[in-house]
Chains A and B, each alone.
Chain A
Amino acid sequence: MSRALSIEGMVSEPVSFHALAWAAALLGTVLLFVFPDALPWAVKYPSWAVVPFADAMSAVMNFLKTYFSWLTRGITDVLSVPLGFVTGLLAKGWKIGSGPDAWMIPRVSWVGIVAAFTIAGYALGGARLASLAAGCMLYVAIFGQWDSTMLTLSLIVVAVPLCILIGVAIGIVGFRRPGVDAFVISPALDFMQTVPTFAYLLPMLLLFGTNPVAAVIATAIFSIPPMVRATTLALQRVPAEIDDLGSMVGCSPRQKLYRVLLPSGRPLLMVGVNQVIMLALNMVIIASMIGAGGLGYDVLLALRALKIGPGMEAGLAIVVIAIVLDRLSQAAATYRPAAAIPGAPVWQNHPYLSFALLVLVVTTLLSLAFPPLGSLPKAWTVSTGPMWKAAIDWINVNYFDAIDAFRTSLIVWVLNPVRNFLEGFPWLAAVTLLSLAGYTLGGLRLVLVVLPLTLFCAVTGLWEKSMATLYLCGVATAISLLIGVPIGLYAARSDRFQAFITPILDTLQTLPSFCFIIPVVMLFRVGDVTALIATVLFAIVPAIRYTNHGIRQIPVSLIEAAKVSGCTPRQTFWRVQLPLALPEIMLGINQTVLLALSMIIICAMIGTRDLGQEVFIALAKADAGRGITAGIAIAFIGIVADRLLRALARRAQSNLGLA
Chain B
Amino acid sequence: MSIPSLKTLSAAAAVDQRPVKIACESLWKIYGENARSFLRSKGAAASPEDIAAANVVVAVKNVNLKVREGETFIVMGLSGSGKSTLVRCLSRLVEPTAGQVLLDGKDLLQATDTELIEIRRHKMGMVFQNFALLPHLTVLENVAFPLSVQGAPRAERESRAREVIELVSLTGRENFYPRELSGGQQQRVGIARSLAVRPEVWFLDEPFSALDPLIRREMQAEIARLQSVLKKTVVFITHDIDEAIRLGDRIAIMKDGEVIQVGTPEDLVIEPATPYVADFTRDVPRAKVMSASRLMKPVAHSPENYGGIVRSTDKIASFAPAIVRAKKPFGVADESGVVVGEIAFEDVIDLLAGVSDRESDGRLP
Contacts and interface: CB of A to CB of B under 8 A. Distances in A.
A250 B119 CA distance: 8
Given A248-B91, A248-B203, 8 more contacts: A241-B129, A241-B132, A244-B93, A247-B120, A250-B119, A263-B134, A266-B136, A339-B177
Interface in B129-144: 129-132, 134-138
B121 interface: yes
A342 B177 CA distance: 14
Interface of A: 239, 241-242, 244-245, 247-252, 255, 259-260, 263-264, 266, 336, 339, 341-342
A249 B134 contact: no
A239 B132 contact: yes
A269 to B, nearest CB: 11
A249 B175 contact: no
B interface, size bucket: 20 to 34
A264 B149 contact: no
Nearest to A244: B93
Contacts of B134: 242, 245, 260, 263-264
Contact of A341 (B88, B117, B175, B193): B175
Among A242, A245, A247, A264, chain B packs the most CB atoms within 10 A around the CB of A245
19 contacts: A239-B132, A241-B131, A241-B132, A244-B88, A244-B132, A248-B120, A248-B125, A249-B121, A249-B145, A249-B149, A250-B117, A250-B120, A252-B117, A259-B145, A259-B149, A266-B136, A336-B177, A339-B177, A342-B175
B176 interface: yes
Contacts of A263: 134-137
B357 interface: no
A528 to B, nearest CB: 52
List the 8 closest A-B pairs by CB distance, nearest first.
A250-B121, A249-B146, A241-B132, A250-B120, A245-B132, A263-B136, A248-B126, A339-B175
Interface in B98-149: 117-122, 124-126, 128-132, 134-138, 145-146, 149
Contacts of B246: none
B135 A250 contact: no
Given A247-B93, A248-B93, A264-B136, A241 B130 contact: yes
B149 A251 contact: yes
Interface in B182-196: 193
A245 B149 contact: no
A247 B203 CA distance: 13
Nearest to A249: B146
Contacts of A244: 88, 93, 126, 128, 132
A71 B78 CA distance: 62
B150 interface: yes
B75 to A, nearest CB: 16
Residue among A239, A341, A342 with the most chain B CB within 10 A? Answer: A342
A496 to B, nearest CB: 33
From B132, B146, B150, B176, name the one whose CB has the most chain A CB atoms within 10 angstroms: B132
Contacts of B203: 248
A372 B137 CA distance: 45
A308 B182 CA distance: 59
B179 interface: yes
By DSSP majority rule, is chain A's interface helix, strand, loop, or mixed?
Answer: helix
Contacts of A336: 177, 179
A341 B175 CA distance: 7
Nearest to A337: B177
A245 B121 contact: no
Contact of B118 (A250, A264, A339): A250
Interface in B300-336: none
A249 B120 contact: yes
A612 B224 CA distance: 73
Q: Chain A CB within 10 Å — which of B131, B135, B177, B203 has the most?
A: B135
Nearest to A255: B149
Contacts of A260: 134
Interface centre among A247, A263, A341, by most B CB within 10 Å?
Answer: A247
Nearest to A248: B126
A21 B315 CA distance: 82
Nearest to B141: A339
A239 B93 contact: no
Nearest to A242: B132
Contacts of B131: 241
B176 A339 contact: yes
A241 B132 CA distance: 6
Nearest to A341: B175
A592 B176 CA distance: 45
A259 B134 CA distance: 9
A263 B134 CA distance: 8
A247 B88 CA distance: 11
A250 B146 contact: yes
A239 B179 CA distance: 16
A133 B134 CA distance: 32
A252 B113 CA distance: 9
Contacts of B126: 244-245, 248
A561 B18 CA distance: 64
Nearest to B88: A244
Contacts of A245: 126, 128, 132, 134
A527 to B, nearest CB: 54
Contacts of B130: 239, 241
B157 to A, nearest CB: 12
B165 to A, nearest CB: 14
Contacts of A259: 145, 149
Interface in B215-242: none
Contacts of B117: 250-252
Contacts of B137: 263
Most chain B CB inside 10 Å of its own CB: which residue of A242, A252, A336, A339: A339
B277 to A, nearest CB: 29
